[in-house]
């Protein structure tokens, strides 16, 4: 293979991690910089480019790289820009793909949001290999999604499709969501949603719980997990409720695109069966008859520490149509 | 053009209507037979083929026909079968596309469900010309949908995607739906759902209404429309509630595929602004900020009496990949 490698960049709120990846999904060389260090985007790009040149050099130079993929919050695939990302230091519309490509002698750079990158990663190296229709749901600080239909990521007419964390799961008295609306799936089933449910349960109910030993304001989904592993009744119920809500929502997603699989990705999946079992129960109960038992529920098969870089890197293989890269 | 025409067949519970259609969406020759007349599928096929031969002959013979498209309840695009359609006389799995093709010397026949046919019809001849991402919502006896993403109909891994009438719109105390579950969009916003809402309002409330002059069990959505046109307060509220529920649901659909337009099709669209205005209000109120104001709400542009045949016929132009036709 003339160009055997791709580069993946995972632009997170705290760190930007990058690596050179081969066709089997092995990260050969990697590095990272602090995202928040540079208030000026050109300083950030300069430091990032320097880091990229080091790993690319180790892999044999520019001629070995087919393309660069970036997963970034609010990343728009169509124009290669980050648009109004709340957790990044640079405001407005940043033409990130173009800026990086220019610094790297025109290497093709493609960008999308982190959940879409996860979906392409699963399709290229993970649980969705060989699948043409599937949905990746990311359960982290927020709830995101990457939807693949007919082998292609769904971007919609504006590049922003796949906001399944913001379908409304409770239309009456719904929980306030970070998006400004009420009742979003994310407000209940993200890691932060799980912690909120814990605080709610502890306030409303009288049951004993090891969670009562913690400062309620500091409870995390990890604390709820640890408590559940100790068979704490309230903690177990929190995972059950969370899973049931996900199962209800998945039944609606299946009515939309009838995917072969829904793949769970992100921090909350560490809960394993604690979260998967109630999802399955609820999905079986809520699914339209025509779809019953047809959609697999799977966990991501990307190694967690590498997943974000791998997902982003998978975009690098997609370099085909010059109009979608810069 | 060597093969300037296609044939569209609309297989309905009562009638099967068919016609030869040109590239501009004009129905040149048409005919129909009673669907329910033949308990044996081969008798039905024989009569249908006879009718088809007549209109094809008038159009210049088989050599002028590029392909035949069928819109049918529970039609599966992938295998050309009608599968377990409740309102048709033939039970089980009927290989309709194959049976018709065999009777017509191997003319390529493609089949899909009626809502998908409507979506292809809008894309080929109607309101979605030039669009690559849109959703058609059919508001008739039931609520159906045809979803187009990147210029392709979404079939899902099993051929049954796009059952948006069966997303859950009320999770608590939802109305019983024909599908056996509770709270489906269809149970509220189909023509029959509107009539149910009328019966509910009349039973619960005390207001005057011209609808009280009718036998509650016989009230139709047409009656509600007529009453609303007379400024009947309850009837106006019924359309408002129905529209609001559709707007809420549309906000979720947009979070999924971010379409350029949502196009309304079917009997209930005759209500015009009575239904469109509350949909728009509700969509504006419920939409995620990133999508605000981006998706057009449109009525179908296919002439109602012709729409089903035109939609089905549009499939006939799609004959490309031999693996999807028989």
Structural domain includes residue A312: yes
> Taking CB atoms and an 8 Å cut-off, how many pairs form between chains A and B?
129
Structural domain includes residue B233: yes
Angle between helices B233-257 and A233-257 (to 10 degrees): 90
Are B266 and B163 found together in one domain? yes
Q: For residue range A157-212, list pLDDT tens digits in order.
A: 999 999 999 999 999 999 999 999 999 999 999 999 999 999 999 999 999 999 99
Interface test with A, best of B257, B286, B295 (most A CBs within 10 A): B257
Please state, in angstroms and rounded to a whole number, the distance separating the CA atoms of residues A137 and A250: 10
Report the complex ipTM: 0.91
Strands ordered across the beta sheet of A296-299: A152-153, A143-149, A134-139, A261-265, A296-299
Strands ordered across the beta sheet of A93-94: A75-76, A81-83, A93-94
Are A17 and A109 found together in one domain? yes
Please give the tally of structural domains in chain B: 2
The residues near A27 (Cβ < 8 Å, ≥ 6 apart) are A8, A19, A20, A21, A306, A309, A310, A313
Q: Does the beta carbon of A77 lie under 8 angstroms from any beta carbon of chain B?
A: no
- Give, in order, the Cα–Cα distances in Å from A110 to each of A317, B117, B195, B292, B302: 10, 35, 51, 26, 39
Cβ under 8 Å to A: B residues 153-212: 154-164, 166-172, 179-181
* Contact between chains at A255 and B157 (C-beta distance less than 8 A): no
What is the separation of C-alpha B118 from the centre of its chain, rounded to a whole number of angstroms? 5
Cβ under 8 Å to A: B residues 241-270: 248, 251-253, 255-260
Nearest to A217 by CA among A241, A200, A242: A200
* Contact between chains at A290 and B164 (C-beta distance less than 8 A): no
Structural domain includes residue B106: yes
How many Cβ atoms from other residues are within 10 Å of residue A61's Cβ? 10
In three-state form (DSSP H/G/I as H, E/B as E, the rest C), the secondary structure along chain B is CCCCEEEEEEECCCEEEEEEECCCCCEEEEEEEEHHHCCCHHHHHHHHHHHHHHHHHHCCCHHHEEEEEEECCCEECCCCEEECCCCCCCCCEECHHHHHHHHCCCCCEEEECHHHHHHHHHHHHCCCCCCCCEEEEEECCCEEEEEEECCEECCCCCCCCCCHHHCECCCCCCCECCCCCECEHHHHHCHHHHHHHHHHHHHHCCCCCHHHHCCHHHCCHHHHHHHHHCCCHHHHHHHHHHHHHHHHHHHHHHHHHCCCEEEEECHHHHHCHHHHHHHHHHHHHHCCHHHCCCCEEEECCCCHHHHHHHHHHHHHHCCCCHHHCC
Are B146 and B243 found together in one domain? yes
Are A156 and A194 found together in one domain? yes
Pairing of strands B143-149, B134-139: antiparallel
- Compute the average pLDDT of residues B156-182: 95
Q: For residue range B242-294, list pLDDT tens digits in order.
A: 999 999 999 999 999 999 999 999 989 999 999 999 999 999 999 999 999 99
Nearest to A258 among B156, B171, B290 (CB): B156
With 0-12 CB in 10 A as exposed, 13-18 as middle and 19+ as buried, what is B297?
Answer: middle
* Contact between chains at A252 and B252 (C-beta distance less than 8 A): yes
Count the helices and strands in chain A (H runs, E runs).
Answer: 9, 13
Domain containing residue A75: CATH number: 3.30.420.40
Structural domain includes residue B125: no
Are B92 and B219 found together in one domain? no
pLDDT at A325 over 90: no
How many Cβ atoms from other residues are within 10 Å of residue B216's Cβ? 13
Structural domain includes residue A126: no
Are B134 and B177 found together in one domain? yes
Nearest to B179 among A132, A159, A288 (CB): A288
- Compute the average pLDDT of residues B57-80: 94
Are A51 and A65 found together in one domain? yes
Structural domain includes residue B284: yes
Structural domain includes residue A50: yes
Are A286 and A144 found together in one domain? yes
Q: Is-above-0.90 flag for pTM?
A: yes
Please state, in angstroms and rounded to a whole number, the distance separating the CA atoms of residues B232 and A314: 59
- Compute the average pLDDT of residues A256-275: 96
Q: Residue A279 sits in which domain range?
A: 131-300
Nearest to B258 among A131, A132, A158 (CB): A158
Angle between helices B96-103 and B41-58 (to 10 degrees): 50
CA of B156 vs chain A CAs: smallest distance (Å) = 5
Nearest to B258 among A161, A253, A260 (CB): A161
pLDDT at A1: 61
Nearest to A99 by CA among A38, A26, A23, A29: A38
Are A268 and A199 found together in one domain? yes
Are A61 and A148 found together in one domain? no
pLDDT at B320: 58
Are B200 and B220 found together in one domain? yes
Please state, in angstroms and rounded to a whole number, the distance separating the CA atoms of residues A312 and A209: 41
Which residues of chain B does A289 touch, with a Cβ-Cβ cutoff of 8 Å? 179-180
Structural domain includes residue A209: yes
Which residues of chain A does B167 touch, with a Cβ-Cβ cutoff of 8 Å? 252, 255-256
Can you read off the two tokens belonging to residue A161?
Answer: 């499709």
Are A99 and A186 found together in one domain? no
Q: How confident is the model at residue B321 (pLDDT cuts 50, 70, 90)?
A: very low
Which residues of chain A does B154 touch, with a Cβ-Cβ cutoff of 8 Å? 149-150, 256-257
CA of A94 vs chain B CAs: smallest distance (Å) = 17
Interface test with B, best of A156, A246, A253, A290 (most B CBs within 10 A): A156
pLDDT at A79 over 60: yes
Q: For residue range A15-38, list pLDDT tens digits in order.
A: 999 999 999 999 999 999 999 889
């Amino acid at each position: 293979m003339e160009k055997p490698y791709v580069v993946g960049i995972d632009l997170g709120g705290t760190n930007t991690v990058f690596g050179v990846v081969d066709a089997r999904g092995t990260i050969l060389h990697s590095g990272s910089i602090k995202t928040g260090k540079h208030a000026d985007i050109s300083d950030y790009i300069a430091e990032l480019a320097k880091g990229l040149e080091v790993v690319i050099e180790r892999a044999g130079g520019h001629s070995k790289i087919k393309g660069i993929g970036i997963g970034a919050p609010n990343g728009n695939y169509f124009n290669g820009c980050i648009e109004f990302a709340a957790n990044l230091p640079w405001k407005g519309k940043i033409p990130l793909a173009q800026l990086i490509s220019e610094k790297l002698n025109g290497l093709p750079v493609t960008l999308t949001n982190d959940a879409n990158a996860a979906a392409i990663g699963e399709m290229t190296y993970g649980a969705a290999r060989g699948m043409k229709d599937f949905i990746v749901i990311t359960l982290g600080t927020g709830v995101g999604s990457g939807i693949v239909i007919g082998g292609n990521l769904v971007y919609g007419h504006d590049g922003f499709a796949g906001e399944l964390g913001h379908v409304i799961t409770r239309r009456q008295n719904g929980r306030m969501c970070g998006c400004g609306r009420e009742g979003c799936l994310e407000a209940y089933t993200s890691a932060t949603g799980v912690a909120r449910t814990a605080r709610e349960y502890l306030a409303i109910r009288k049951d004993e719980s090891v969670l009562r030993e913690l400062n309620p304001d500091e409870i995390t989904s990890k604390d709820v997990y640890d408590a559940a592993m100790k068979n704490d009744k309230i903690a177990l119920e929190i995972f059950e409720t969370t899973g049931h809500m996900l199962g209800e929502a998945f039944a609606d997603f299946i009515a939309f695109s009838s995917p072969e699989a829904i793949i769970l990705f992100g921090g909350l999946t560490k809960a394993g069966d604690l979260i998967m079992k109630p999802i399955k129960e609820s999905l079986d109960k809520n699914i339209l008859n025509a779809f019953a038992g047809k959609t697999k529920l799977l966990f991501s098969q990307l190694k967690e520490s590498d997943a974000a870089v791998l997902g982003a890197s998978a975009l690098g293989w997609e370099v085909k149509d010059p109009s979608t890269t810069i």
